[in-house]
Amino acid sequence: MSQQEVVYLDGNYTPKFKASLSILDRGFLFGDGVYELIPIHNKKIFYMDDHFKRLKKSLELINIDPIIVDEIDFEKIINSLIVSNDYTNHFIYIHISRGVDNFRNHIYTENITPTVLVMGEKYQPFGIEHIKEGKKAIIEDDYRWLKSNIKSTSLLANVMIKNKANSYDAYEALLIRDGFLTEGSASNVFIVKDQIIKTPKLSNKLLPGITRKFLTDIISMHTLTFEESDISKDALLDSDEIFCSSSTNPVVPITQLDNKLISNNAGPMTMTIYNHAQDFIKGFQK
Ligand code: PDD
């Protein structure tokens, strides 16, 4: 982190290492807030409208007035961070907590002023060799709450699950609820079976990933066969190909799931989608 790197916190641009918050901030005490993580490709904000739309929806679902997204000029703030920090390929992290209350109480005071943080993080997606080789994943019970469509900052379950995967040298944990795939601990999941690309349909059990949307746009642009459907644990294990999608790594092939080898390397359909996604991103950068 450069000493000069600045972040936006509650109306001010502050050096990242000096930015600080009250201990009574409800984000700190309760994880009472929501966030967005937005890729910046060649200084441009990727799928911006979709990210802001999801941010508003998350706020609405936790009863914080989403008007804040219209009132604060996030596009201007992000562009200003891109310029002052000379970001080229980075993420922008937006964090909105309910704000600082007068005391620690589960019941919040209505209409306290939300805390707003916007900061950058370096973007380091996997290189092509890692992609071609593919990654390992584990299967885990989806023991998170039933509002996983909210991009909440309360990420304890996701953190525990992803760290369990990491301890098995795995990139991701694929989550099963009531016998069916929901998503990964920090990604959405697609499978390929008999040339058909499938992903679970949106519901309260998974995050409506913006990369998921980006990839479905790519899939329809290239007229590949696609369906949203329930995917049982058995169907997941019986997939020809599996890949995860997220803003940090748009397409990550999963070649091993627990002890089951899915494919020797990244599968052909996964690589087709990966290459189309990369081409789109390169085109977006111009
Ligand atoms: N997480 N599902 C979960 C649980 C996630 O945490 C994420 C992303 C996704 C993919 O969403 P998107 O395509 O909009 O990035 C799905 C981000 C990367 C994070 O928490 O850092």
Q: Which of 101, 94, 31 is nearest to 66 (CA)?
A: 94
Last residue of a domain, one of 72, 89, 121: 121
Active site residues: 151
Q: What is the pLDDT along the chain (286 residues), one digit of tens a residue?
A: 566 899 999 999 999 999 999 999 999 999 999 999 999 998 999 999 999 999 999 999 999 999 999 999 999 999 999 999 999 889 999 999 999 999 999 999 998 999 999 999 988 899 999 999 999 999 999 999 999 999 999 999 999 999 999 999 999 999 999 999 999 999 999 999 999 999 999 999 999 999 999 999 999 999 999 999 999 999 999 999 999 999 999 999 999 999 999 999 999 999 999 999 999 999 886 5
- Pocket probe mutation, ligand 1, options 174, 187, 199, 244, max atoms within 8 Å of Cβ: 187
Q: Which amino acid is at 182?
A: T
Last residue of a domain, one of 94, 121, 148: 121
Say whether both 137 and 241 belong to one domain. Answer: yes
Say whether both 115 and 139 belong to one domain. Answer: no
The residues, ordered by sequence, that sit 6+ positions from 6 with a Cβ below 8 Å of its Cβ are: 13, 14, 15, 16, 81, 84, 85
Query: Is 160 inside a domain boundary?
Result: yes
Compute CA 49 distance to the chain's CA centroid, rounded to the nearest angstrom: 15
Query: 186: Cβ below 6 Å to ligand 1?
Result: yes
Query: 219: Cβ below 6 Å to ligand 1?
Result: no
Query: Is 1 inside a domain boundary?
Result: no
Boundaries of domain holding 207: 128-285
Say whether both 281 and 142 belong to one domain. Answer: yes
Read off the CATH number of the domain in which 27 is found: 3.30.470.10
Distance 78 CA to ligand 1 centre (A): 19
Q: Is 11 helix (H, G, I), strand (E, B) or coil?
A: coil
Query: What is this structure's pTM?
Result: 0.97
Give the position, in ligand 1's atom list, of the atom nearest the Cα of 211.
13
Q: What is the dihedral sign for C-alpha 45, 69, 156, 1?
A: positive
Helix segments in the chain, DSSP class H: 26-30, 48-61, 68-71, 74-84, 128-133, 156-167, 210-221, 233-237, 268-285
Give the position, in ligand 1's atom list, of the atom nearest the Cα of 35.
20
Say whether both 99 and 136 belong to one domain. Answer: no
Say whether both 269 and 151 belong to one domain. Answer: yes
What is the C-alpha to C-alpha distance for residues 63 and 55, in angstroms, rounded to an integer?
Answer: 12
Say whether both 146 and 202 belong to one domain. Answer: yes
With vertex at residue 36, the alpha carbon angle to CA 53 and CA 202, rounded to the nearest 5 degrees, is 60
Query: Is 94 inside a domain boundary?
Result: yes
Say whether both 98 and 115 belong to one domain. Answer: yes
Indicate which residue's Cα is closest to atom 16 of ligand 1: 187
Say whether both 112 and 17 belong to one domain. Answer: yes
Say whether both 149 and 45 belong to one domain. Answer: no
Say whether both 147 and 280 belong to one domain. Answer: yes
Query: 247: Cβ below 6 Å to ligand 1?
Result: yes
Query: Is 271 inside a domain boundary?
Result: yes
Q: Which of 155, 185, 190, 192 is nearest to 170 (CA)?
A: 185
Domain count, the chain: 2
Last residue of a domain, one of 99, 121, 143: 121
Say whether both 76 and 208 belong to one domain. Answer: no
